[in-house]
Chains A and B, each alone.
Chain A
Amino acid sequence: MKGFSALTEKPWLAMPDGSIAYDASGGTPPAQIALRFLLMVISIAFVLIFVTFLTRSQYPDFQALAGEPWLPFNQSPRLWATTAVLVAASAAMHWAWHSVKSQKPDGVMLGISVGGFLALVFIMAQWTTWIYLANLGYGVSDNPANSYFYLFTGLHALHLFGGVLAVVRVFIRIGQGCSIDQVAVAVKACTTYWHYLLALWLVLFFLLTRTPEAYALLAAACGLG
């Protein structure tokens, strides 16, 4: 209703003197607004690739990476392990944000350090998964399912790496003597971003390790079958 009333305001009427409302406290920080839009942008990009993935999965040459005992992700302990690392990274970032709220500088430093480090570990783990796949003969161009695996995980890792750069910046600012309040917005943004990338990874994990039958079902449900 707030948005509706804003859009139905009568701008041709001048505001009476002294009636002009504004928020002197600052309102939602712009960084948070920008992050929300950024997450929408990233989501749109991934959703569009999901759509092409599901469409492509229904073509005869598509060979899923799970569903038969000999396929690499029929059992996927490797991916479960990387998932655990990312969950831990997300928890560490959440701890950092919690420490900001309770004004504990050591907790903030520890949280973002561990969160950033585990994100790097996750990226390295993904890299080893690529090598593992390539050594098994699942090269990037051998099959569209492989291509999508490399594409999805590569883009996800790239986004995570961007987040690590942001964490490093927070780290440097704290090192330069910025107070907790001065980095609070940045820490909150990093935490949100980490949670988002964890959620995105869970979706990717689910999508990339399905059987052909599951893809057929998903594609049909989305009207792409």
Chain B
Amino acid sequence: MTHIAIADQEPELHHPRTFIGKYIWSQDHKVIAIQYACTAIFVGLVALMLSVVMRLQLGFPDQFDFINPNMYLQFVTMHGMIMVIYLLTALLLGGFGNYLIPLMVGTRDMVFPYLNMLSFWFYFLSVLVLLASFFAPGGPTGAGWTLYPPQSILEGTPGSGWGIVLMLASLAIFIIAFTMGGLNYVSTILQARTRGMTLMRMPLTIWGIFTATILGLFAFPALLVSAIMMLFDSVLGTSFFMPAIVSLGEATDYEGGSPILFQHLFWFFGHPEVYIVALPAFGMVSDVLSVHARKNIFGYRMMVWAIVIIGGLSFVVWAHHMYVSGMNPYFGFFFATTTLIIAVPTAIKVYNWVLTLWQGNIHLTVPMLFAIGFIFTFTHGGLSGLFLGNVVIDLPLSDTFFVVAHFHMVMGVSPIMVLFAAIYHWFPLVTGKQLNTRLGMIHFWGTFLGTYAIYLPMHYIGFLGVPRRYYALGDTSFIPDSAHALNANITIAVIIVALFQLIFIINLFWTIKREPKSRINPWDAASLEWHTPDVPPRHGNWGKELPTVHRWAYDYSVPGVVDDFIPQHVPDSDVTYEPGYDRTATGREST
């Protein structure tokens, strides 16, 4: 049942009149989404630069004076944390979630617009606090993105003073921001859908965002708790996680704490975090594939159930990140089993994406290319995950570049391919202009082939035993010269891929400045967001009356129908069928 009084909250909308009210302290979900997106992309570019510097050191050790061991560890840490939390989570949920939820479910705005605004500014503050650590005494923390104690707060680790405190404070602020946003998303989806928008008529994008938000709401408390407790350990000298330990030759005041407790808390958040990033991406790629293949998504209900099941299972696999920490063999068996089970609904989704393409009228547009690219990278990343889910294989590979290659393929490259697909796909809705296709094609091929040039050899050097997290390998006898050569090649590929991202940035500015307005709904999409009275949608989204939804978002190439697609808000009585077509023959006729 949908609640039209909540969705149609026009009288309560805060209509800004000043520039500041409209673009700075805005309560319009679309402006907030763009604020989220710009901040996330900016901070993501910072993280990209950090990865280039790291790769320069790995590919050409000791060639660059401006990189020292401490800086290397700090850059690794900041790169990882920024990419996972401040770019991917923020852009997928804060950016796309904010923009698409009200438009796709047919409401005027989020149910708590003021809270939504606060959510962005808290996020912005968390980014500022995080970036401030670059300028703090000792620099940012170099503890690795997992921030494991005891090393994260011991003096030998770079950034063990201000760096780790600012990181933990930033994470706490981010989680407050996420909670404010998350409560908004969930409440809006559950209570503010327009007439006819039943749960099972929501586009898969919304299902992905909805489930990921619930995962975030339930998983981020683990990170918040661990951050607060570690702040206590670091600032107040408590021993929640800190064991009795000698640091730099001197006994510390810590006593009896358990670093393993931190690891459990961290990964109780950390593994669902993979799906907080992946599920919105799954949803968005499903919609992009369906629109650009002009075919309904294969197995919609199965796709919804798979999203929900993956979300549930993601809470019972966390300890597969801790095999090397040691655990009862029965626990290892349990977590290996759950990890392999989660591959089943995930595989169902991959099959359904491929089957959506099967016999579709595939348009190789830029969004479609990125979406297909995602299927490749996600399948490869997922398959190496099956290796690592097994204890006996994980133990020797865990501290090698094989793991780095695995998680970059599965939760780095794959969601970013979807992000690009989504940006190219929804850009005409946000700006009224279509991103330049030629530049987009160059961007896609450079990124897609480039990432394979980076990560395929990285799997190989991992198999050879090249360890991760090392500033320099030195004269390590078991590592052959070929691995060093591959490392150099990977670095060159990274630089090339980074340069290709500049093409994307140029494309954004070029399109906004130079490209003419595109036609409304240029992809002929059926979902609701493309059918607002104005493009880009105005504040309040839907003119005088909210749309009524009559069908799902995937009516493409419907047999017997004259038009190529039927928008969600078009009633059956307005659909034109081919003369003489028997509507009952296909079983699509409702009763």
* 0/1 string, B539-569, CB within 8 A of A gives 1: 0000000001111101100000000001000
Min Cβ gap A179→B in Å is 15
Q: Is the CB of A141 within 8 A of B200?
A: no
Partner of A15, one of B5, B265, B590: B590
Contact of A23 among B3, B222, B550 (CB under 8 A): B3
Size band of the interface chain A makes with B: 35 or more
**Known: A33-B190, A48-B265. Contact between A14 and B572, CB under 8 A?**
yes
Contact yes or no, B240 A52, CB < 8 A: yes
Instruction: Check A30 against B188 for contact (C-beta < 8 Å).
Output: yes
Stretch at the interface among B16-24, B251-259, B354-362, B451-459: B251-259
Question: Any chain A CB within 8 A of the CB of B348?
Answer: no
Complex interface: stretch among A55-63, A66-74, A197-205, A208-216:
A55-63
Q: Does B350 contact A (CB under 8 A)?
A: no
Tell me which of A37-45, A102-110, A112-120, A129-137 binds B: A37-45
| Given A7-B304, A41-B217, A22:B195 Cβ within 8 A | yes
Contact of B240 among A12, A37, A48, A56 (CB under 8 A): A56
A84 within 8 A of B: no
User: When chains A and B are docked, how far (Å) is the Cα of A117 from the Cα of B183?
Assistant: 28
Q: Indicate if A27 sits at the interface (CB-CB under 8 A).
A: yes
Cβ proximity bits A120-133 to B, threshold 8 Å, 1 near / 0 not: 00000000000000
Interfacial chain A residues near B550, Cβ < 8 Å: 14-15, 17, 20
In the complex, which residue of chain A has the Cβ closest to the Cβ of B589? A13
Contact of A9 with B198 at beta-carbon distance under 8 Å, contacts A30-B191, A33-B186, A147-B232 already known: yes
Nearest A residue to B253 by beta-carbon distance?
A141
Q: In this complex, what residue of A is CB-closest to B305?
A: A7
Does the CB pair B218–A44 fall under 8 Å? yes
Q: Could you tell me if B228 and A151 are in contact, using CB atoms closer than 8 angstroms?
A: yes
Which residues of B sit under 8 angstroms from A8, Cβ to Cβ?
301
A33 touches B191 (CB 8 A): yes
Nearest-CB residue, chain B, relative to A49 = B225
Q: Are B187 and A13 in contact (CB under 8 A)?
A: no
Cα distance A24–B8 in the bound complex, in angstroms: 10
Question: A28–B5 Cα gap in the complex (Å)?
Answer: 11
Closest approach, in angstroms, between the C-beta of B302 and any C-beta of chain A? 11
Q: Are A61 and B232 in touch, CB under 8 angstroms?
A: no
Report whether B222 and A56 are in contact in the complex, using a CB–CB cutoff of 8 Å.
Answer: no
Shortest B408–chain A CB gap in Å is: 29
Contact A26–B225 (Cβ < 8 Å):
no
Question: Within the complex, what minimum Cβ distance (angstroms) separates A60 from chain B?
Answer: 7
Q: Which residues of B contact A21 (CB under 8 A)?
A: 1-2
Known contacts: A23-B4, A140-B232. The answer to whether A17 contacts B195 by CB under 8 A is: no
Q: Does B286 contact A (CB under 8 A)?
A: no
The answer to whether B261 and A22 have CB atoms under 8 Å apart is no
Residues of B contacting A30 in the complex (Cβ-Cβ under 8 angstroms)? 6, 111-112, 187-188, 190-192
Which residue from chain A places its CB closest to the CB of B573 in the assembled complex? A17
When C-beta atoms are compared, the residue in chain A nearest to B308 turns out to be A7
**A11 contacts partner chain B, Cβ-Cβ < 8 Å:** yes
A141 and B2 form a contact (CB under 8 A):
no
Contacts of B573 in A (CB 8 A): 17
> At the interface, yes or no: A34 with Cβ under 8 Å from chain B?
yes
Complex CA–CA separation, A141 to B268 (angstroms):
26
Q: A7, A25, A45: which contacts B224 (Cβ < 8 A)?
A: A45
Q: Complex Cα distance A62/B3, Å?
A: 53
Chain B neighbourhood of A37, CB < 8 A: 182-183, 186-187, 214, 217
Does A221 belong to the interface (CB within 8 Å)?
no
Which residue on A lies nearest to B238, using beta carbons? A147
Give the chain A neighbours of B195 by CB distance below 8 A: 20, 22
- A-side contacts of B304, CB under 8 Å: 7
**Residue B237 CB within 8 A of the other chain:** yes
- In the complex, the answer to whether A11 meets B200 with C-beta atoms within 8 Å is yes
Which residues 297-350 in B have Cβ within 8 Å of A in the complex? 300-301, 304-305
With A34-B186, A60-B256 in contact, is A144–B198 under 8 Å at CB? no
**Which of B1, B238, B554, B591 lies in contact with A141, CB distance below 8 A?**
B238
B3 touches A144 (CB 8 A): no
Contact with A along B173-196 (1 / 0, CB 8 A): 000000100111011101110011
Question: Is A1 close to B, CB under 8 A?
Answer: no
Q: Is A177 an interface residue (CB 8 A)?
A: no
* B549 surroundings in chain A (CB, below 8 A): 15, 20
- Contact check: which of A6, A17, A61 meets B256 at CB < 8 Å? A61
Q: B228 and A12: CB pair below 8 A?
A: no
Which 7 A-B residue pairings sit nearest by Cβ, starting from the closest?
A61-B256, A45-B221, A30-B111, A26-B5, A11-B552, A141-B237, A27-B3
Given contacts A14-B550, A27-B6, A37-B183, 13 further A-B contacts (CB under 8 A): A7-B200, A10-B200, A16-B591, A27-B3, A33-B190, A41-B220, A48-B225, A56-B240, A59-B256, A140-B236, A141-B253, A144-B256, A151-B229
Q: What are 25 A-B contacts defined by CB distance under 8 Å? A: A7-B199, A7-B200, A11-B201, A12-B296, A12-B554, A13-B590, A14-B555, A20-B549, A22-B196, A30-B111, A33-B187, A34-B112, A37-B186, A37-B214, A41-B217, A44-B218, A45-B224, A48-B221, A48-B265, A52-B225, A55-B258, A56-B257, A59-B258, A140-B237, A155-B228
